Structure 1
Amino acid sequence: MPRSNRPRNRRRPEVDERDLAAALFGGRQTESKRGIEWNVQPVAAPSALKAYTCPGCSGQVAAGTAHVVVWRADSFLGDERALSERRHWHSHCWKIA
């Protein structure tokens, strides 16, 4: 019978589901542009279910297109207000803004 080279009795490290999601889809990041802090959340193509207007180019971010959602991180009016004012950008448009 051939010998197995598979290690035995070794525990696999537990993976946090949030870390896995961040690795697969990219996590929310904070970026600074023109002295303002912004939260930037990537949206994978399969998760993009609606069409939006990109504020960078005024073109359409079509459903099924990977893009980013951006909102202020340092809003003095509060997080809820900042979230309600979030915008969907083409990834390229956000990079060059």
Structure 2
Amino acid sequence: MNMKMKGAARVLAVACAAAALPIMVASPASADQGDCQYSLHEAGYQIGPKVEAACKTGANTWNPGRFIQCFWGLTAIGVREEHAVTACQAA
């Protein structure tokens, strides 16, 4: 391979990497408070202020304890553990 072809190959490789970078680093689709509430609604629970508060906590991406706080909030009001796990994972 001559020098011009090696240079062209490098430029092409860098261009491809630059084009692919935004796709590779894009965050996966995330759920939200509504998905948490919908999960509980589908499981037969009534959605009220306490469910909304727990799901909101679970959806707060800035809160490192969001899952456990969501879980505790839901189980404290009578949501079965398996439903709370599913809902908080959806948040």
TM-score of the pair, normalised by structure 1: 0.28
**Which has more radius of gyration?**
2
Quick check: which one's strand share is greater?
A: 1
Quick check: which one's helix share is greater?
A: 2
